Amino acid sequence: MDDDNDGRDDEVQKFHLSKRARYNKTSVVVFDDEARKEFLSGFRKRKNKRRQIAAEQNQIKERQKRLQDRKERRQALKEAKEEASKGQGGEENGAADAEEEEDVEANETTIADTITYDERETRTVVNITPINPESDDDDEEKEVRTSGAGMDAPALKVKKPKFKKPKRPQSEKRTRKLSRREKTVPRNLRTKKRKKK
């Protein structure tokens, strides 16, 4: 048994430094100019890299959240179908089930057309609606909906007034622009260059 301990002591003694040796040990400082330049000039790179990684992680989280929401919606629809078919007796209401499915699909498209982006400080809601082929004049007419009005309320059409710039009468003289030199000289001292005799 003493032999085993002696072997361990030898290994420990190889790597062991006494306190006095640690205090007396001199440290060597090496100056690496390339590493210094990389550190000093790399702040922007490192910051952009952190931002890029964070943006990628946010995209992954958003994608997973969307997938989870879709999965929950599908599951809820499936449960609603099963419940409706069990509760109403099955085949008698086959046509009604088809209509309900169409209504649910229409709801899904409206839900998909409204996208909400939540960020730290802002919340953005995007509503995607089909383009109305009847109104070709987007510049002249604009549909306005009040916040209290529902989707059934008619949209108000507002025409944008067209303003024309008033024309300048010909009798008005156009003033010439002053040069930099003339701007710095007071008005009473401004003179045209005179020819020397």
Q: Of the ranges 34-38, 80-84, 132-136, 176-180, which one carries the lowest mean pLDDT score?
A: 132-136
Does residue 49 lie within any of the structural domains?
yes
Which positions ≥6 away from 158 have C-beta within 8 Å? Answer: 141, 142, 144
Q: Domain tally for the chain?
A: 1
Residue that wins the pLDDT comparison between 1 and 128: 128
Q: What is the DSSP letter of 17?
A: -
Query: Which pLDDT score is estimated for 131?
Result: 73
Residue type, 1: M
Which run of H or E residues covers position 33?
A: helix 33-41
Does residue 77 lie within any of the structural domains?
yes
| Averaged pLDDT for residues 92-106 | 56
DSSP states along 63-111: HHHHHHHHHHHHHHHHHHHHHHHHHHTSGGGHHHHHHHHHHHHHHHHHH
| Averaged pLDDT for residues 122-150 | 59
Does residue 43 lie within any of the structural domains?
yes
Contacts 24+ apart (CB under 8 A), 50-59: none
Does residue 73 lie within any of the structural domains?
yes
Query: Which segments of the chain are extended strands (E)?
Result: 114-118, 123-127, 141-144, 156-159
Residue type, 78: K
pLDDT higher than threshold 90 for residue 72: yes
pTM comes to 0.29
Distance CA 92, CA 38 (A): 76
Which residues form the domain of 72? 32-86
Does residue 82 lie within any of the structural domains?
yes
Does residue 80 lie within any of the structural domains?
yes
Does residue 182 lie within any of the structural domains?
no
Does residue 74 lie within any of the structural domains?
yes
Distance CA 169, CA 166 (A): 9
Residue type, 27: S
How is residue 30 written in tokens? 């090496």
Residue type, 71: K
